[in-house]
């Protein structure tokens, strides 16, 4: 069976078609073409998913990419349970978002370009998860970065969007550099064992032969790459700015799929990461701190999409926290559920923004429940899911993370506390947003209010489907005292090397659930009490120093600007304005000037007077005569 | 008849006079005439050696040199005429377009 | 011997006049004289045919051509004489004679030639040699002359 190749093939074909003949197809046909391409990929992915029940790993070499003596890199795809899950998320949610985009981008001039980028993204993302070796994975990794850049700056006429695209690209570049270094170091280390390839399966076979201190460095470098792509401290700054792109893009790339590539990568190399407790501890702490840190920022934001962006950073922190305590399958599970409810949240917010004609400031919303009933429902479901309302998807996945942090030998109470507080903060900022947008008095501007409308069905259907997913996706993995976990068994073969079995007494688990629920409920309560902007305490709080600090995002951007960007631009300016014209040009022009001077001198010999030449000729003849006759 | 060496020395002197003429004179016609002088000096040498060795080959060579000299003079004078038409001068210092 | 010395002095003097006369016509006349004296020198070397050709071709044809060109172009002005350049050129020429002298005085060729054989230098013998072993160069020389004629016509023709 050679099915795997079709998954990236369809979106690639769709992208190329849209690029080259899209403008003749017209907007509508181009969009449908893109949807069909992703739809076909989804069908194939589903087939793979079913096939995998029989065999554990599908492998499909296409051709040899490069072969230099011992080194052999193949373009080869492989699929195991982890890949299948990722593929379903990418193509499934991707398909829904494609369909949604038909409505959301329907009036946009650049719709053909938009769908070409979106298909290209699906291509690269599926390449990333299907890749059999790290080099091919890196191709996908860079490719999704490119698509992210292109789509953030999609409305490039606005300078701020172009800047945001650049920022995302450059910050990712820092991470990618770490990833690249880690990959090269890994290649070197594998070469010491005589394995000259970057194939994951071969790596898995020789992992025990690698030197632990080297593996520590390698995993650290790889994690830098993951932190860049998945927006972890200290490289998270690009993700909130990435919200400048169209909202479906934020849902697909900057919430559901691309930003989880880092989590996927660490899970894919779980056998390597499991070798180094030090790196895992670092990942756990970075993840936990990012989760908490981003959640606090989200509390004080007023832009509807920015809240969701920080919430994404926070949830990604959760995933890394799970990775850090060795609970890889839990991390992937949270990735899975998060993809549903975060995509749902983003698309719902997109629906709100669409209804209000582009308004993103929550202070100018409120009371929208009456105008947007479907969006209101889906938003509520997704908000409940992310806040961990019982029996929703987020409830199960978040609980498992907290439980893993507590029960895993790598976890600790302080980490658990951090994650626990984050759960409360999540409930608070999500419901704060929810109340600000849908309840209370309507603060919408007059002209926007006149055009307010519920989204068309093409946008509502994906919303509803995602909302359903936000509820039921979690039921795949329930605690022991319910019907247990399908998930663990499904992903077991992938993580058998590094997974941490953590099945303690279920009474403890119930207790922990209760504690988590309590803080979430507390967060909800606070949000409910402060739901009105006219609330005295809320007003006083919003003017306090701490709130200003949070609204200013801890001034991290300003800090980076001062410590990295400014010195960098200053040194670049120094190089360009002083060093280059002075030193480099001086050297080059100096050499040229000297040569010119020497040539001017030598040119005098060429007087052009034929008699001078004759005289020189005679002198030479005389010298020869003197030499030969004088001997 | 004078010894061979005498003829050779005389020939060398005439040749040197021709060389000096080619180098110092500022008139292309005179330069061409100096070249004729040099050719004649060489002819004298050929004939002296021919006589000395008792071979007719030297005289035949002189015959050819005179042929070539005639051709040279004709073409050279034609070039001078063409040049004069453009430059209105016979000074070789004016003819330095090959510079640079 | 006396004849050679007289002829040698006359040739050198007229040669010097060729390059020291500032007037082109005077130079040309001096050259005619020099060529004539050289023709006489040819006669003393048992080359009567060449000597006659010398007078006919050089003094008769080539020099007339020179004089025609001089007349045609009519360069009225006397050319300037730059002493340093003249000194330099003359010194180089003198040095040339000086360097050649020892070699010329010690030739390996026989100093005093044997009496010439019967008919040496006669037109018959010259013709036999020319059309015997030198017939190919002779024919090529004719081509050369043809090319020279055509070249001269092309070069000197007025541009249309």
pLDDT (tens digit per residue) in B37-47: 999 999 999 99
In a domain? residue A203: no
Q: Do C66 and B56 touch (CB under 8 A)?
A: no
Residue A389, CA distances (Å) to A313, A339, A395, B34, C112 in order: 20, 17, 6, 118, 136
Q: How many Å lie between the alpha carbon of C116 and the closest alpha carbon of chain A?
A: 32
* pLDDT at site A499: 44
Residue in B12, B20, B85 nearest the CB of C90: B20
DSSP A544: S
Which burial class, exposed, middle or buried, applies to A8 when counting CB atoms under 10 A from its CB (0-12, 13-18, 19+)? buried
Strand A71-79 to A58-68 pairing:
antiparallel
* Secondary structure in 3-state letters for A177-243: HHHHHHHHHHHHHHHHCCCCCCEHHHHHHHHHHCCHHHHHHHHHHHHHHHHHHCCCCCCCCHHHHHH
| Interchain CB distance below 8 Å, C96 and A625 | yes
Q: pTM of the entire structure? A: 0.69
Out of A615, A618, A629, name the one closest to residue C102 (CB).
A629
Residue A575 is classified by DSSP as I
Quick check: A77 and A131 in contact, CB under 8 A?
Answer: yes
End-to-end CA distance of chain C: 58
Return the residue in C152, C154, C159 with the most chain B beta carbons within 10 A, the one to mutate for interface testing. C152
Using a CB-CB cut-off of 8 Å, the residues of chain A touching B15 are: none
Q: To the nearest whole angstrom, how far is the Cα of B82 from the nearest Cα of chain C?
A: 6
Q: pLDDT tens across A139-148, in order?
A: 999 999 999 9
Residue B8 touches partner A, C-beta closer than 8 Å: no
Q: How far apart are the first and last CA of chain A?
A: 92
Residue A249 forms part of a structural domain: no
If you compute the radius of gyration of chain C from its CA atoms, what whole number of angstroms results?
20
Q: Is C92 in contact with A626 (Cβ distance < 8 A)?
A: no
Give C2-76+118-156's CATH code, choosing from 3.90.1150.10, 1.10.1040.10, 3.40.50.300, 1.20.120.1200.
1.20.120.1200
- A589 C-beta neighbours (distance < 10 Å), count: 12
pLDDT tens-place values along chain C, 160 residues long: 889 999 999 999 999 999 988 888 899 999 999 999 999 999 998 889 999 999 998 888 899 999 998 888 876 667 777 888 889 889 999 999 998 888 888 877 776 767 777 778 888 888 898 898 899 999 999 999 999 999 999 888 877 6
Cross-chain residue pair C103–A618, CB shorter than 8 Å: no
Please judge whether B29 and C144 are an interchain contact, meaning their C-beta atoms are less than 8 angstroms apart: no
Across the interface, of C92, C117, C130, the residue whose CB is closest to B63 is C130
* A453 and A373 in a common domain: yes
Contact between B47 and C47 (Cβ < 8 Å): yes
- CA atoms in the 13 A half-sphere facing the CB of A478: 12
Chain B contact probe: residue of A614, A620, A622 with most B CBs at under 10 A: A614
A461 lies in the same domain as A604: no
For CA atoms A362, A368, A369, A373, the dihedral sign is negative
Beta carbons within 8 Å of A125's beta carbon, 6+ residues apart: A90, A94, A140, A144, A257, A258, A261
Coil/strand/helix, residue A358: coil
**Mean pLDDT along residues A245-274:** 90
The pLDDT of residue C85: 86
User: Which tokens sit at A555?
Assistant: 């001034």
Average pLDDT rounded to a whole number, residues B50-55: 86
Q: How far apart are the first and last CA of chain B?
A: 54
DSSP for A394-445, please give it: HHHHHHHHHHHHHHSTT--HHHHHHHHHHHHHHHHHHHHHHHHHHSSS----
Residues contacting A286, CB < 8 A, separation 6+: A223, A227, A232, A233, A317, A320, A324
CA dihedral (A41, A47, A49, A53) in degrees, to 10, reads -160
Of the three residues A494, A514, A548, the one that is the final residue of a domain is A548
- Rounded percentage of chain A residues whose pLDDT exceeds 70: 96
Q: C-chain residues within 8 Å CB-CB of A622? A: 92, 95-96, 99
In sequence order, the 6+-apart residues with CB closer than 8 A to the CB of A353 are: A247, A304, A305, A359, A360
Residue A131, SS3 per DSSP: strand
Please state, in angstroms and rounded to a whole number, the distance separating the CA atoms of residues A125 and A148: 11
Cβ pair C21, B40 in contact under 8 A: no
Q: Answer yes or no: do A609 and B93 touch at CB < 8 A.
A: yes
Residue of B nearest to A602 (CA): B100
Query: Do both A423 and A543 map to the same domain?
Result: yes
> What pLDDT is stored for residue A498 in this prediction?
44
Closest chain A C-alpha to B10 CA, distance in angstroms = 19
User: Looking at the structure, do residues A574 and A605 belong to the same domain, yes or no?
Assistant: yes
Chain B residues in contact with C16 by the CB 8 A cut-off are: 17
Nearest C-alpha in B relative to C34: B37
pLDDT value for A497 = 47
Contacts with B49 from chain C: Cβ below 8 Å: 109
Report, as an integer, the average pLDDT of A261-278: 90
Query: In this complex, do A611 and B19 lie within 8 Å of one another by their Cβ atoms?
Result: no
What's the domain range around A607?
Answer: 558-630
**Cα A243 from Cα A353, distance rounded (Å):** 13
Model confidence at A208: pLDDT above 90: no
Task: Tell me the domain boundaries of chain C.
Answer: 2-76+118-156
- Alpha carbons within 13 A on the beta-carbon side of A29: 9
What pLDDT sits at residue B37?
Answer: 94
Long-range CB contacts for residues B53-61, cutoff 8 Å, separation at least 24:
B53/C109, B53/C110, B54/C113, B54/C114, B54/C116, B54/C117, B54/C120, B56/C120, B56/C121, B56/C125, B56/C126, B56/C129, B57/C129, B59/C47, B59/C49, B59/C50, B59/C121, B59/C126, B59/C129, B60/C126, B60/C129, B60/C130, B60/C134
Is some CB atom of chain A closer than 8 A to the CB atom of B12?
Answer: no
The answer to whether residue A451 sits within a structural domain is yes
**The pair of three-digit structure tokens given for residue A211, joined into one six-digit string:** 């030197």
Of A481, A515, A548, the position where a domain reaches its end is: A548
- pLDDT score of C147: 93
- Write down the H helix ranges in A5-93: 6-25, 27-51, 81-88
DSSP letter at A303? B
Task: Supply the DSSP symbol for C55.
Answer: I
Q: What distance separates the 2 farthest-apart alpha carbons in chain A?
A: 119
Q: Output the six-digit token pair for A440.
A: 């209370």
Q: Are C35 and C46 in contact (CB under 8 A)?
A: no
Q: Is A89 domain-assigned?
A: no
Give strand pairing partners of A361: A303
Q: What is the pLDDT of residue A49?
A: 87
Give the length of chain B. Answer: 100
How many distinct structural domains can be found in chain A? 2
Q: Do A609 and B22 touch (CB under 8 A)?
A: no
Residue at which a domain ends, from A504, A528, A548: A548
Give the model's pLDDT for residue A355: 87
Contact B83, B95 (CB under 8 A): yes
Same-domain check for residues A360 and A481: yes
pLDDT in the model for residue A467: 93
**Residue A613 touches chain C, beta carbons under 8 Å:** no
Q: SS3 of A480, please?
A: coil
Across chain A, what does the average pLDDT equal?
87
Higher pLDDT, A450 or A273: A273
To test the contact with chain C by mutation, choose from A625, A626, A628 the residue with the greatest count of C C-beta atoms within 10 A, namely A625
As beta bridge partners, residue A59 has A78
Sorted by sequence, the CB contacts under 8 Å of residue A2 that are 6+ apart come out as A60
Please give the class, per CATH, of domain B4-95: mainly alpha
The tokens describing C115, both together, are 């009496």
3-class SS of residue A631 = coil
> How many CA atoms does the CB half-sphere of A206 hold within 13 Å?
18
Give per-residue pLDDT as tens, A454-506.
888 888 999 999 999 998 888 887 776 677 777 777 777 777 644 444 555 56
Given a contact cutoff of 8 angstroms between Cβ atoms, the answer to whether A281 and A297 are in contact is no
Neighbours of A69 (CB within 10 A): 6
The interface predicted TM-score (ipTM) is: 0.90
Record: contact C125-B74, CB cut-off 8 A: no
Q: Are residues A583 and A523 in the same domain?
A: no
Cβ neighbours of A630 in C, within 8 Å: 99
Mean pLDDT value of segment A548-570: 85
Interface contact flag, B98 A607, Cβ < 8 Å: no
Q: Is pLDDT above 60 for A572?
A: yes
Contact B33 C149 (CB under 8 A): no
Chain C neighbours, 3+ Cβ pairs < 8 A: A, B
């Amino acid at each position: 069976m050679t099915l795997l190749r079709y998954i990236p093939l369809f979106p690639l074909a769709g992208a190329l078609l849209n690029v080259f003949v899209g403008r003749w197809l017209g907007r509508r046909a181009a969009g449908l073409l893109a949807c069909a391409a992703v739809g076909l990929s989804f069908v194939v992915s589903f087939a793979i998913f079913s096939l995998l029940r029989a065999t554990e790993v599908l492998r499909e070499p296409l051709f040899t990419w490069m072969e230099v003596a011992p080194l052999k890199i193949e373009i080869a795809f492989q699929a195991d349970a982890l890949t299948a899950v990722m593929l379903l998320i990418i193509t499934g949610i991707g398909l829904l978002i494609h369909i949604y985009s038909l409505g959301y981008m329907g009036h946009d001039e650049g719709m053909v370009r938009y769908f070409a980028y979106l298909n290209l993204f699906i291509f690269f993302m599926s390449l990333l998860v299907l890749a059999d070796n790290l080099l091919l994975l890196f191709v996908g990794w860079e490719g999704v970065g490119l698509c992210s850049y292109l789509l953030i700056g999609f409305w490039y006429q606005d300078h701020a969007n172009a800047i945001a695209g650049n920022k995302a690209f450059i910050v990712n570049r820092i991470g990618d550099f770490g990833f690249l270094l880690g990959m090269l170091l890994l290649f070197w280390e594998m070469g010491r064992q005589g394995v000259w390839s970057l194939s994951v399966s071969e790596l898995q076979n020789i992992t025990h032969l690698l030197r632990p201190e080297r593996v520590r460095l390698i995993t650290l470098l790889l994690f830098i790459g993951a932190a860049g792509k998945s927006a972890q401290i200290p490289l998270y700054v690009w993700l909130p700015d990435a919200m400048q792109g169209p909202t479906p893009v934020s849902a697909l790339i900057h919430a559901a799929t691309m930003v989880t590539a880092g989590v996927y990568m660490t899970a894919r190399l779980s056998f390597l990461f499991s070798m180094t407790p030090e790196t895992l501890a670092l990942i756990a702490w970075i993840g936990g701190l990012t989760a908490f840190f981003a959640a606090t920022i989200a509390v004080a934001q007023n832009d509807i999409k920015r809240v969701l962006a920080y919430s994404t950073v926070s949830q990604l922190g959760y995933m890394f926290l799970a990775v850090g305590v060795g609970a890889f399958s839990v991390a992937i599970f949270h990735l899975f559920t998060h993809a549903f409810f975060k995509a749902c949240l983003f698309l719902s917010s997109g629906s709100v923004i669409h209804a209000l004609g582009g308004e993103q400031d929550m202070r100018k919303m409120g009371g929208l429940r009456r105008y947007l009933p479907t969006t209101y429902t889906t938003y509520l479901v997704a908000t409940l899911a992310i806040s961990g309302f019982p029996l929703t998807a987020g409830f199960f996945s978040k609980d498992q993370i907290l439980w893993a942090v507590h029960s895993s030998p790598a976890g600790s109470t302080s980490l658990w506390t951090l994650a626990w507080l984050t759960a409360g903060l999540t409930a608070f900022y999500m419901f704060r947003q929810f109340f600000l947008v849908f309840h209370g008095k309507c603060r919408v501007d007059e002209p926007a209010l006149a055009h307010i409308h519920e989204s068309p069905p093409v946008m509502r259907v994906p919303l509803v489907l995602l909302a359903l997913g936000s509820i039921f996706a979690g039921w795949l993995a329930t605690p022991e005292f319910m019907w247990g976990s399908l998930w663990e068994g499904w992903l077991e073969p992938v993580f058998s090397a590094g997974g941490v079995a953590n099945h303690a007494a279920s009474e403890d688990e119930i207790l922990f659930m209760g504690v988590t629920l309590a803080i979430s409920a507390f967060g909800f309560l606070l949000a409910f009490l402060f739901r009105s902007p006219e609330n005295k305490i809320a007003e006083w709080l919003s003017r306090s120093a701490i709130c200003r600090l949070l609204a200013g995002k801890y001034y991290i951007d300003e800090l980076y600007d001062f410590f990295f960007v400014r010195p960098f631009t200053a040194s670049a300016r120094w190089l360009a304005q002083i060093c280059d014209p002075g030193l480099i040009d001086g050297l080059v022009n100096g050499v040229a000037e000297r040569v010119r001077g020497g040539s001017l001198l030598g040119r005098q010999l060429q007087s052009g007077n034929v008699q001078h030449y004759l005289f020189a000729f005679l002198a030479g003849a005389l010298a020869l005569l003197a030499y030969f006759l004088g001997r | 008849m004078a010894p061979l060496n005498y003829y050779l020395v005389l020939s060398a002197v005439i040749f040197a006079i021709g060389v000096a003429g080619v180098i110092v004179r500022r008139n292309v016609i005179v330069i061409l005439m100096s070249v004729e002088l040099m050719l004649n000096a060489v002819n004298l040498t050929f004939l002296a050696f021919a006589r000395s060795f008792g071979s007719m080959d030297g005289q035949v060579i002189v015959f050819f040199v005179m042929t070539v000299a005639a051709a040279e003079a004709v073409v050279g004078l034609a070039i001078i005429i063409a040049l004069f038409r453009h430059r209105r001068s016979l000074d070789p210092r004016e003819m330095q377009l090959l510079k640079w | 011997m006396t004849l050679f010395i007289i002829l040698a002095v006359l040739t050198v003097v007229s040669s010097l006049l060729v390059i020291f006369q500032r007037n082109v016509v005077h130079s040309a006349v001096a050259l005619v004289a020099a060529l004539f004296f050289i023709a006489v020198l040819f006669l003393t070397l048992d080359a009567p045919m060449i000597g006659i050709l010398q007078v006919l071709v050089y003094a008769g044809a080539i020099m007339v051509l020179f004089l025609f060109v001089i007349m045609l172009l009519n360069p009225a002005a006397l050319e300037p004489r730059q002493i340093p350049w003249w000194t330099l050129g003359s010194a180089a020429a003198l040095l040339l004679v000086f360097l050649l002298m020892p070699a010329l005085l010690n030739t390996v060729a026989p100093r005093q030639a044997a009496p010439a054989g019967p008919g040496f230098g006669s037109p018959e013998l010259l013709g036999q040699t020319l059309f015997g072993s030198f017939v190919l160069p002779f024919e090529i020389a004719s081509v050369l002359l043809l090319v020279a004629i055509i070249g001269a016509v092309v070069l000197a023709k007025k541009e249309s």
